[in-house]
Structures are given as C-alpha cells and as structure tokens.
Amino acid sequence: MANQSHFDTSFDLPPLPEYKTTLMPPFLPPIPDKLLTVILPIVAYWGLSMVFHWIDTKDYFPQYRLHTPAEVSSRNKVSRWDVVRDVVIQQVVQTVVGWLLGMTEPDDVVGKEVYDVTVWARRIRIAQRAIPAMLAFVGLDAGGIAKDLNMSHPVLAGVIMGGRYSPLQTTAMASDGFVGTTIGFTVWENVLANAMYWYIVPALQYGIAIVVVDTWQYFLHRAMHMNRWMYTTFHSRHHRLYVPYAYGALYNHPFEGFLLDTLGASIAYKAAGMNTRQGMWFFTGSTLKTVDDHCGYALPWDPLQRLTSNNAGYHDVHHQSWGIKTNFSQPFFTFWDRVLGTVWTGGDVSARYEKAKIAAQKKMDQDVKTTITHSNVAESVIQDPRPYQDDKNNATDLSAITVQDQQPLPPAGKAELQAAGSRQQVLDDRKDGGAQVLVQEAAEEKEARSLLKRSGRRRTASSLSQTDSLKGLKDRVTGSMHGRAGAILGMESNR
C-alpha cells in the first residue's frame, strides 16, 4: 500500500511522507504472531508454574512460604489432577476465543512508522495554534512577546506565535511537479512526536487495558461472592483451593473462566486498540501476574510482587475462610478494593504470615510495620464498615461454631465484620465448605502459633540464622513435600 502526499497549503503544515507497508516479520519465526499470541500465555502459565512447583518439591525458601506443605494436602478440597484438568479445559476455551479474536484483527505491518510520526508532529503543530488565543484571554499580546524573543529564542517565539516558524519555510518541488513552500518541523516537535508514537501512546494503551481488565474482574468477582447462588454454583470451585499454589491460578468453573478471565482480557485488548504484538505481551503479562499471585510465597525479590501491593500475600487473604469476602481485586492493582471498602482491614492476623514477614524484613531491611497482606490493622476501627455492616448479623450459622474453631480471631471493628461474612460464606457452601473447613483452619492456626512461639524461644537462646531457624520450624511440620510421590506435578489425591 502506498500514499502520495502533496504539500498541505490549506493548513500551512509540513507534508505527509509517502509510505509503503509490508507484513511485520514474526516475533518467533516461523510461528505467525496471531498463533503465538494464543500459545505464549499457555507456555508462560506452565513455565512459571513449574518453577514454583520445583521450589515446592525441593523445599527451597521455606522461610517465605505463606503456608506449610501439610496445609496444601490437608486443607485443599480438590486433587491436583482435577486442578490440571480444569486448567487445561479453560486454556482450550481461551485458545479458541483467542484465535477467533485474532481473525478479527488486521495483520501487523511495518513501513508506515515515519508517516505516523509525522501525523503526530502535525497534531502537535496544530495544537500550538491555540496559544495566541490563550495568551490573549489573559491579556497578553502574543505578537509582541514573540517579536521580543525572536532574535534570542526563535523557536520559543514560533511556539508563542502558534507554531509559525518562518526560518523553517523553504521552496521545493513535489514528485508530480507541484511547486510550493514546505514547512519543516522543529527538533522539539520531532522528538515529542517520536515519543508519542513509540512510547507514550503504547504506554497509555497498556494502561487502559489494565484499568479495563481490573475493573471487569473486580466487579464480576465481587458479584460472585456477594450473590450466594453465583458463589455456590460457579465461584466456589476456585475456592476449593484454600491454600493456593501456582498452577491452580486458573482452576475455575469453565463458565467463570470464560466470563472472568478470557472475555475480560479480550474486552480490555479491544478497548485499548492494541495490535497483535501488543496483545501478545498483554495476555502473557496478565498470565504471569495471575500465576505469581497464587504462588504461595512472599518473595521479597520477586519483581511482580514488588510492582504493586496486589500480590501473593494480598490475594492469599482472599482464599482464607476469614477473608474470602475481601480483597477482590485482580490481577494488577488494588484500586477498586480501596475505593469501595472491600480491602481486608485486619492486618497479618494469621501466625502463618509471621515467619514470611520476619524473613522478608531481614532480607530487604524493611520497616517492622510492613505486612505480608498489605493491610494496616489500625484501619479496622477507623474505616467505614460498608459494605459489611450487616454481615455479622446475617452470619446466622456462625453462632453454632465455637470461638476455638474461629481462629485466627480478627481485630475488633470492620475486620470482625469481614471475617464473620467470609466464614458464613464458607458455611453456605455445603459441598466444598462447611464447618469442617473452619475447624481445620483453626487447628492449623493453633499449630502455627505454637511453632512460632517455640521458634522465637530458640532464636533468643541460639545464634542460628533466621533462615536456619525457620527451616527447622518447617521440618517439624508433618506431611512435608520432601520425597512425596508425584514427581513433576505432585499428583497426590486430596479430598
């Protein structure tokens, strides 16, 4: 395709250049980009998942684990085989939708970049036309100011005059013999136009896509928790994983997986006006972030966990019986949780998080107030209780559960309401929830607190390193993954 441009004398603007486009070479020859767009997120999902699974099976970094290996086996209500099966089903649907989406998109081309940069430079020039009127509105004479600056700062004078740079005008002949005056661009216009085309606009597109997918997932995810029928019919399947692990990130009911993840990402891609190559990185980045959020580790050097507060520690709260109706935001930022009051306000209420916090603080020399869950316990008594103001009164089944079986106990205030509503939701789930979930979690919490106290006494009486102490703490927990059958996927059958 080619485009012929004459000198644009009607608007007194620099001309648009000719261009000829060709198909963009594949990022990974010989695989077409549209095919790679549906393949790469799956490769990224299983690749990063297996890294975390390898860390699990080799027992590396126990000091950063949010839960013990024993909890993975005892508290989850689904086998690993079932998790893998459902994830593969979702990825099949995701692949079909992605391929159909790609068919609606034109092929990416190259060769038009100079033309597009020039279009942006012309827009910048046109925008300058408003400057004289803006100065006149505040009582300033653009012509007089420009005249005073013309000798010392001619470019600034041209800006003030509305983008009229007389030294840049030359007489030239176009390819068809038309003779006219060409108007060039200044250096600053060219620099800004290139920045707009190559960096600013793509960054805005990714930003729009992130906002759209975060918004889509927050409100649908929240609806699936606030509506009892939607939770028990669809979303409760994902919460069979009370202790998340990496390759369980996309373990969902097939309908939920399509609606929440596949459709949401597709809408974000379309809304942002991305091309195929941009979509490839957006889908892959979203996948990596989702896997990392379910990895079960609070790793202080993990860039995905340090990029935003919406990370493994933050999302782990959402999988616990006391926080299941909080922290709905996924996968990038926590904006909607904080604006609409659904962020967990009880701090690191569980002893399970204490060892990870201590290890992270030692590694990164963090302030002692840093929390794994990115929650400040002081907010519990000062925040507006909405939307949880009625949750404690509505938790009618919770009164039958003893205080000993409602551990950990949340702080007073909003966190107490959040925990009551969350635990009632677990009790409402007759198939995969129920009172036994609360009893089990309370027993694990009691054990975690006991081990933490013993570990603290050893640190006081010994010069062992923090890592060694926590390693010893982990070794006394029964059901270690060390030597567990199942090899690469650890396919033991859970309840």
Q: What is the pLDDT of residue 184?
A: 85
Global pTM? 0.85
Residue 68 confidence (pLDDT): 86
Phi, psi of 118 (to 5 degrees): -65, -40
pLDDT the model gives residue 362: 58
Least confident of 199-213, 257-271, 397-411, 475-489: 475-489
**pLDDT for the residue numbered 371:** 82
pLDDT for 264: 97
Matching residue, tokens 């209780």: 385
Three-state secondary structure along 247-266?
HHCCCCCHHHHHHHHHHHHH
Residues pairing with 109 in the sheet: 23
- Identify which has the larger pLDDT, 230 or 63: 230
- φ/ψ of residue 389, rounded to 5: -60, -25
Output the CA–CA distances (angstroms, integers) from residue 245 to 59, 255, 309, 407, 482, in the order listed: 14, 21, 19, 22, 16
The Cα–Cα gap between 291 and 193 comes to: 37
- pLDDT tens digits for 88-145? 999 999 999 999 999 999 999 999 999 999 999 999 999 999 999 999 999 999 999 9
The CA-based angle 226-232-234, given to 5 degrees, is 95
Nearest to 337 by CA among 474, 493, 214: 214
Instruction: Look over the chain and give the mean of its residue pLDDT values, rounded to a whole number.
Output: 86
State in Å, rounded, how far the first CA of the chain is from the last one: 61
Q: Confirm if 78 and 240 have CB atoms less than 8 A apart.
A: yes
Question: What residues form DSSP beta bridges with 295?
Answer: none
Q: State pLDDT tens for residues 210-268.
A: 999 999 999 999 999 999 999 999 999 999 999 999 999 999 999 999 999 999 999 99
Structure tokens that stand for 24 in this block:
């963009």
The per-residue pLDDT for range 163-193, each reduced to its tens digit, is 988 766 655 555 555 555 667 899 999 999 9
pLDDT at 241: 96
Angle at 452 between CA 240 and CA 415, to 5 degrees: 55
- Does the pLDDT value for residue 471 go beyond 80? no
Grade residue 402 by pLDDT with cuts at 50, 70 and 90: very high
Tally Cβ neighbours within 10 Å of residue 441: 26
What local confidence, expressed as pLDDT, does residue 412 receive?
94
Least confident of 39-43, 416-420, 445-449: 445-449
CA atoms within 13 Å, Cβ hemisphere of 407: 15
pLDDT confidence of residue 472: 44
d(CA 260, CA 169): 56
CA distance 70 to 492: 12
Q: Which of 283-292, 381-390, 428-437, 486-495 has the lowest mean pLDDT?
A: 486-495
- One-letter amino acid at 108 equals D
